[in-house]
Structure 1
Amino acid sequence: MNSDSKSQDHTDDKNMSENSNSCKVMSKLLLPQDLMLHIFHLLPIYCLIDSARYVSKHWADTFNQLDGRRLRSTPGILVENRLSKGNFYFLEFKDDVNAGFETIYLPTPPNMGFLMGTCHGILMLLAPDGHIFLVNPVLKCWLRLPRFYVSQCQSPLYIMNRCAIACVPHTAKFKLFFQDILIVPGAIFYVFYVLRVGTDNSWKEIARKEAPRDGHISWKPLYSGGNDLYWITSEGIIVFSVDKEIIVREYPLYVSLHRRTPNYLWTGTHISCILTKRSYKEYEIHLLDFDSGKWSLYHETGPFDYTTASGHNLIAPKVKFRLWINDQIIFTVDLTEKRITYLHFAYDVKTKQFTKIEDIDEGYYEAWLHTNTLVSLSTAPA
């Protein structure tokens, strides 16, 4: 063996020894996984997705242990383009709705259809063929669920207004709920169904309640974000337990004669009923007290000056209240009659500030309350 070979062997041995020592030093410098998890929970969600998990194998392994139920961004507005299926973007709230948004685009495959609701970062979409898709647009993962064959009507609007997605507290198991109308000789019933995502993935009847024969009206259900799901019918408010899948309470509606159709929203702690006072520019807001079961006047708005806020002269606008967050009510006004063109406004019940949300485009756009998460549909939470 010549001297060059001996020199090379000595160099290789030295490099291997140095690498081994470096690995030992690095292993001592690595933070414990529980501490890493705590730090990761403090980082912005997109920092984790785009950067942190690619630093090292140790970081990637720790990232995979993150609990998607706790790892959420702050609530914001998810904007859906109804003329371009699968086109979503997310606006995160700052101090107020016009303090500037960070726009994050969240596309989904267009064949998954229109949005029916969101829950803990998961979108519930209704496809043209009737299938329901659950999608996490951040992780770009999705799950297809079976169609629901309703007894009375197969129209998408009927299904969308009677379907809800909820999450069982402390387990992160998602469930879909549906309310159908069953007409039999001599009676009409509200029939409730559930689909337990990841368990059996099939629709099962869980309850039924007799409905009035002279008219059965249902509003889109309201979800508290916890264990209560509120079904609002022409008779009253039916409260369902998401966990136990049973009716646990009932409340009366707010009844007022000579008023237009009420708008019901979840405020974060209460159910609100918003009623027009006159000319679609002034409103009364009533809240339901869950302890007494009684409604009380909470707030009255002044006339909304649409012309100053938007530059459009809206004489008798078609108003649709969409969501309530951080003391602010987000609603849309239909600008035209021939082609749907929505303007989005915000009203702060604390400051009485009324503004047009410039970050939402004018057009056929719907606004939804949403929170980005890392919940994976391929694991237990789905």
Structure 2
Amino acid sequence: MGASEKTAAGVSTLPLLHLPQDILVEILSNLPAKSLVRFRCVSKFFYALVVDHGFGVMHRSLSLKLPSRAGILISISSRSSPAYYTINFSEQNAQRPGMLQANRLAYLDSEPFLKGSLLRSSSDGLICLSKPNGDVVVCNVSTGQRISLPRIQFHSPHRPSICAQLGFNSQSKRYKVLMSTWMFARGKWSTSFEYKHWVLTVGVDKSWREINYSPHPFEGYGSLIDSDATSVYIDGFIYSYNWLTKADPPSFHIVAFEVGSESYSLIPFPAEVSLSQEYPLVGYLAPFRDKCRDLLRDFALLQVDGGRLAIVFVRKIGHLSYMDVWTHLSYMDVWTWEISKECWEKITMIIPLEESIDIPHRFLRYTTNHVGEIVLLCINRERFSILICNLKSEVWRQFDVGGVEEFPTLCPEDVRIYRIMDNVFSLE
């Protein structure tokens, strides 16, 4: 444990517990983060242990395996102030069995730094929020600890579009933030776009480091590296969409940014999506930036069972029943990237639940739970509900969600969900 062992050796509290240090550390590592935060006030030993970097890494590793420490975060960016809720799938509403209980994170709502901030990145229970002026904050959902990162000064008359993404470096056992920006750069005869990328190691770097990271050779219509673009962190890589407009018709790729080496590679978008009439916005319509943003918002990037990268899309198809009644069935397409084969494999499933009858695709939000099942958050005018799909068994489960006080029916785009877990990792 390094620092923890040295700290514990000279503290008189430990002998009173009549427990060997290794056993005590093992017991504490199995406690939830909220309990550990309270224990920091018990003694110097507990404080030093909980804030120790090595202990945080150990607790994080255990949290990845314990279902009781996993859940989802619901983010609602209302005009007055944002609202945040957590849902643990093992915690049900006391008054209504079978209903999941959403718990409001009041300590986050009251923070002034959240106003005007965009939450578009999460990793292991840490969230990354950014503002158009370049302010970036990393916050630990479990402990409430937050750290403000240095602001990048943009020397341009035009407001940049920024995207801050969070990932974990398994070599250094530290979190990094990748900041991507684009802005107008007007030339003498034409308008172009300038792209820059920075990296900062949380708790280590005092300033941003600009990197030579250029997977965005955009032309003409601009970039999709903005707050609406989806991304996911999986085992040392941050995956996000990339829009390449040099091809004709324009082509799509997924950028795999390796957090440790700060390098990238490209994964081709499934060919059938670009060629199929079922996905009409891909192809020659791609240069229209707003339509592309809508498209890529609906094609979610997720980490599914086994830590695989997946693209998920829900669509509706009309069917004429045997009684000549026109009905619509909802289907979910899932493409999983098979690294060994370097190809996509597709599964298509009918959503069999009652809720699927009335699911406009723009009222859906996607994430996964601790075992890699796909979680769909359905938003309608009366309630939130959750659909969970197990890809192996193709079994669906449905839950209503209680405890959510605000229903932003007019702006469903303001609702996001993220996979989170219990994490006591210190940001300092």
Relative to structure 1, the CA distance from residue 297 to residue 116 in structure 2 (aligned partners, 3 Å threshold; closer, same or farther) is closer
Q: CA deviation at 1:88?
A: 2.5
Relative to structure 1, the CA distance from residue 342 to residue 183 in structure 2 (aligned partners, 3 Å threshold; closer, same or farther) is farther
2:422 corresponds, among 372, 375, 379, to: 372
SS in 2 for 1:318: helix
Q: What is residue 38 of structure 1 aligned with on the other side?
A: 26
Amino acid at match of 2:169: V
- Does structure 2 retain, via aligned residues, the 8 Å contact 1:179–1:193? yes
- Does structure 1 retain, via aligned residues, the 8 Å contact 2:180–2:197? yes
- Does structure 2 retain, via aligned residues, the 8 Å contact 1:287–1:297? yes
Residue 180 (1) aligns with residue 197 (2): no
Residue 243 (1) aligns with residue 238 (2): no
Relative to structure 1, the CA distance from residue 125 to residue 101 in structure 2 (aligned partners, 3 Å threshold; closer, same or farther) is same
RMSD over aligned Cα atoms: 3.8
- Does structure 1 retain, via aligned residues, the 8 Å contact 2:300–2:366? no
Q: What is residue 310 of structure 1 aligned with on the other side?
A: none
Higher relative contact order (CA 8 A, sep 6+): 2
- Does structure 2 retain, via aligned residues, the 8 Å contact 1:182–1:191? no
Aligned pairs for 1:352-363 within 5 A? 352-359=395-402, 361=404, 363=407
- Does structure 2 retain, via aligned residues, the 8 Å contact 1:188–1:211? no
Unpaired stretches in structure 2, ≥5 consecutive residues = 1-10, 64-68, 244-251, 280-294, 318-327, 409-414
Residue 144 (1) aligns with residue 148 (2): yes
- Does structure 2 retain, via aligned residues, the 8 Å contact 1:78–1:91? yes
Q: CA deviation at 1:243?
A: 0.9
Query: In terms of Rg, which structure is larger?
Result: 1
Aligned pairs for 1:61-140 within 5 A? 61-65=48-52, 67-72=55-60, 73=63, 74-83=69-78, 85=81, 87-94=83-90, 98=98, 100-101=100-101, 103=103, 105=105, 107-108=107-108, 109-113=111-115, 114=117, 115-127=119-131, 129-140=133-144
2:270 corresponds, among 237, 254, 258, to: 254
Distance in structure 2 (CA, Å) of the matches to 1:237 and 1:172: 25
Amino acid at match of 1:89: Y
SS in 2 for 1:47: helix
The more displaced of 193-202 and 212-221 is: 212-221
Normalised by the length of structure 2, the TM-score is: 0.67
Distance in structure 2 (CA, Å) of the matches to 1:127 and 1:182: 15
The more displaced of 365-374 and 296-305 is: 296-305
Residue 265 (1) aligns with residue 301 (2): yes
1:289 corresponds, among 338, 350, 356, to: 338
Residue 231 (1) aligns with residue 240 (2): yes
SS in 2 for 1:207: coil
1:162-216 Cα offsets, whole Å, 9 max, x none, are: 3211121142322211333477779867643323333132251331135253656
Distance in structure 1 (CA, Å) of the matches to 2:136 and 2:74: 19
Relative to structure 1, the CA distance from residue 259 to residue 62 in structure 2 (aligned partners, 3 Å threshold; closer, same or farther) is same
- Does structure 2 retain, via aligned residues, the 8 Å contact 1:344–1:360? no
Q: What is residue 11 of structure 1 aligned with on the other side?
A: none
Q: CA deviation at 1:40?
A: 0.7
Distance in structure 2 (CA, Å) of the matches to 1:169 and 1:231: 20
Q: CA deviation at 1:354?
A: 4.3
Distance in structure 1 (CA, Å) of the matches to 2:256 and 2:242: 11
- Does structure 1 retain, via aligned residues, the 8 Å contact 2:170–2:260? yes
1:286-307 Cα offsets, whole Å, 9 max, x none, are: 2121222211212412355328
The more displaced of 117-126 and 53-62 is: 53-62
Q: What is residue 347 of structure 1 aligned with on the other side?
A: 388
1:68-104 Cα offsets, whole Å, 9 max, x none, are: 1222442211122322646433222329995755847
1:130-154 Cα offsets, whole Å, 9 max, x none, are: 4111122443332222345497963
- Give the total of aligned pairs: 341
Amino acid at match of 1:335: N
Relative to structure 1, the CA distance from residue 119 to residue 299 in structure 2 (aligned partners, 3 Å threshold; closer, same or farther) is same
Distance in structure 2 (CA, Å) of the matches to 1:42 and 1:293: 38
1:321 corresponds, among 365, 368, 371, to: 365
- Does structure 2 retain, via aligned residues, the 8 Å contact 1:132–1:146? yes
Q: CA deviation at 1:253?
A: 0.1
SS in 1 for 2:57: coil
- Does structure 1 retain, via aligned residues, the 8 Å contact 2:196–2:210? no
Distance in structure 1 (CA, Å) of the matches to 2:156 and 2:300: 26
Distance in structure 2 (CA, Å) of the matches to 1:196 and 1:24: 35
Q: What is residue 321 of structure 2 aligned with on the other side?
A: none
SS in 2 for 1:67: helix
Distance in structure 1 (CA, Å) of the matches to 2:351 and 2:14: 64
Amino acid at match of 1:321: R
Q: CA deviation at 1:57?
A: 5.1
SS in 2 for 1:133: strand
SS in 2 for 1:358: strand
